[in-house]
Structure 1
């Protein structure tokens, strides 16, 4: 008895239940939290999950997350925005200057956001209208921002006490928000040291104590961006421009207009990140205070696979490692070596199941080296701990690179077809 096999008929992939991706993300976050709580108990490094680390993580993660959101908006429309760093610089200068001039941080937020939008507009004119290479235009904006802001500082702050070519006077900060009675009620629980329970209490305290109003706005922008880009007609059209502008144009979508809107919004978000650095993190504009966070934001966006939730996790990862090296130095980062070694062992076992023996062997050997390093030392050198956030970002990007998918039309020059 013979059976006929139609090789031309594709095999249907099993459909995943609705909300599967959301539950996968929640499971991943829970696994990370449980792992850190367990690591705290094993190593005795309480600052791995304490409230101070949570607050410091937010301080470092918010400007990176805003830059990453800016990159998301631009690249979903097909425009690479290397100029995020320069747009953040615009935001730091204009935000601090107007907040100081009017003694009002909200006016500084508006001015810094508009400064970033100006940088986005310049990038849009260059890349969309004049078809300049996206990388060249972005690098030019970064260089322009450095020189222009120094010139303005010399011009404006020359006769101001405590200010000069490299910094502004002190600016007023945003109000902070604290949930009444909750931190005090949870403080004994957080100090108890009970596995998971004290860690969760510390997390809640960190998220409900002295949070800047701008931090709350930045956190809310993540779900807002998701809803706008994935749940509205406007967002569908904007993403179609980044995937296939020719098809979008054939359906009547205004490709040029949407690219302009996306890049200007991108600049505004990056400018808002600059305002955070100047008014929340330091209350003063200082030359060079962005510290490459625009580029790190791009790395966080790529790590997040061009999705709002993913880039938020990438920004949090960088902010967390930065917070640990600032608060605990090499000892706190040293504890993460043990966790990283376990993760690499799990990855090695998974790669064996996937019949990728080369990657499995490399992961296993790396895990052995990290375990030896952890048990033979008590702390990381200060120089290495300082660069641990960058190392963590590169490591995660290398592990996640196989499943990344950029918008199909990203970085391509496009011209409307002529009838």
Structure 2
């Protein structure tokens, strides 16, 4: 009871968060739901205009969900670390450790053992980052980059040693120096009756109704249990970090560790715990990649750890925002995989409409006196016009641009969201025990 009281006092005594600039509305949950509904409406309209049924069918959304899971887990892992005040650039490396551990354990003991091994592998990477940054005071960026390089070299070496050794059991089972032997499939679940009913509605291609049916079908048909676990982890992270005394103490370490220590919080312990969870979540994301294709492969993460970090920033260090960002990036990645150049070409029109909406919003802000809003509105309109011209002058998009789609989206979203961001105050700052005494 006394510990909880101390933590509560820490939050009261900590410096107040900077007030949001006037004129900026907070993104409440009703507003977020309204934005999602508006996005679905625009997507349905673009599908109707372009005639590209692949844009919003259940295959597209199912692929988007699969692509969003590892990105979301990496972003959630980054959130845990940075809420405790530690920058975690090493998410990519921790995902690599998760993919390798999952591949090594999975072909021998099955997919569930692979998931557990991926969590352990990522957690070890997180603890190594904690040792370097918390105990020895290494710069957070330097430590994270070092972990990425170390993880890449380690998994390549171990793959040659364990999977590609001549005459080994792994090599006989189909492994080589770049991949593990195959593992069994992860079980999935389907809601009987509901999935078939939604499929029947989707086939009619009704405006908005069939698009909504496609989304819902992706959520109830052939869904991995790891996806369900990911949803539970997002909900659990919110309640642990924002509705428990443990979360209050952990977040106080990222806001004002000196004040937290003066009130009895063991800052080192909470930073270590946060980084262990951070690495475990990233490792789970890596294990999901390996289990999804039944093997570990070299370079399997493909930069998803970095995109997860961008998702965390876009989500303003909140689980709900991370989930929305992961969904967006997953959708764009699925366009690349499922739709190809034709579907990305249809998305040009949707992007143009969104930029026009953004321009109107910025213009209204400019009329209220917001600095630079009119320039942003003009730039958005110019880009929207160029996208419309590109759409009308072509029938498809070059393969090279299709491959760039998720990364271009990352840059655009971060540039648009930058004005609403508020990072933890002590993030990345060196801290030594006893500074407050």
**Range into which the TM-score falls when normalised by the shorter chain:** over 0.9
Aligned residue in 2 for 1:405: 422
Partner Cα distance (2:328, 2:55) in 1: 13
Query: Does structure 1 retain, via aligned residues, the 8 Å contact 2:90–2:143?
Result: yes
Structure 1 position 186, deviation (Å): 2.1
Aligned residue in 2 for 1:27: 34
Partner Cα distance (2:73, 2:359) in 1: 34
Query: Does structure 1 retain, via aligned residues, the 8 Å contact 2:82–2:88?
Result: yes
Aligned residue in 1 for 2:179: 167
Partner Cα distance (1:362, 1:128) in 2: 43
Aligned residue in 1 for 2:370: none
Aligned residue in 1 for 2:151: 145
Pick which of 244-253 and 263-272 moved more.
244-253
Structure 1 position 173, deviation (Å): 2.4
Structure 1 residues 329 and 415: alpha-carbon distance in aligned structure 2, compared to 1, 3 A threshold: same
Aligned residue in 2 for 1:5: none
SS at match of 1:123: helix
Matching residue within 324, 333, 338 for 2:344: 333
Query: Does structure 1 retain, via aligned residues, the 8 Å contact 2:60–2:339?
Result: no
Partner Cα distance (1:96, 1:216) in 2: 21
Deviations 1:329-363 (A, max 9, x none): 11101111111111111222222222222112111
Please list, as runs of the form range in 1=range in 2, the aligned pairs for 1:81-230 lying within 5 A after superposition: 81-102=88-109, 104-157=110-163, 158=165, 159=168, 160-161=171-172, 162-230=174-242
Structure 2, gaps ≥5 residues long: 1-18, 367-372
Partner Cα distance (1:120, 1:400) in 2: 28
Aligned residue in 1 for 2:359: 348
SS at match of 1:354: helix
Deviations 1:23-62 (A, max 9, x none): 1211111111111111111111111110101110011111
Alignment partner of 1:49 is 2:66: no
Query: Does structure 1 retain, via aligned residues, the 8 Å contact 2:43–2:56?
Result: yes
Partner Cα distance (1:83, 1:301) in 2: 14
Structure 1 position 152, deviation (Å): 1.4
Partner Cα distance (1:20, 1:279) in 2: 36
TM-score, structure 1 as length reference: 0.93
RMSD: 1.9
Partner Cα distance (1:173, 1:88) in 2: 20
Runs of 4+ residues over 3 Å off in structure 1: 11-14
TM-score, structure 2 as length reference: 0.90
Structure 1 position 109, deviation (Å): 1.1
Alignment partner of 1:288 is 2:294: no
Partner Cα distance (1:313, 1:253) in 2: 32
Structure 1 position 20, deviation (Å): 7.2
Deviations 1:147-203 (A, max 9, x none): 111221222121222212111000122100100111112222111111111111111
Aligned residue in 1 for 2:405: 388
Partner Cα distance (1:357, 1:183) in 2: 47
SS at match of 2:28: helix
Query: Does structure 1 retain, via aligned residues, the 8 Å contact 2:75–2:308?
Result: yes
Structure 1, gaps ≥5 residues long: 1-10
Structure 1 position 12, deviation (Å): 12
Structure 1 residues 285 and 262: alpha-carbon distance in aligned structure 2, compared to 1, 3 A threshold: same
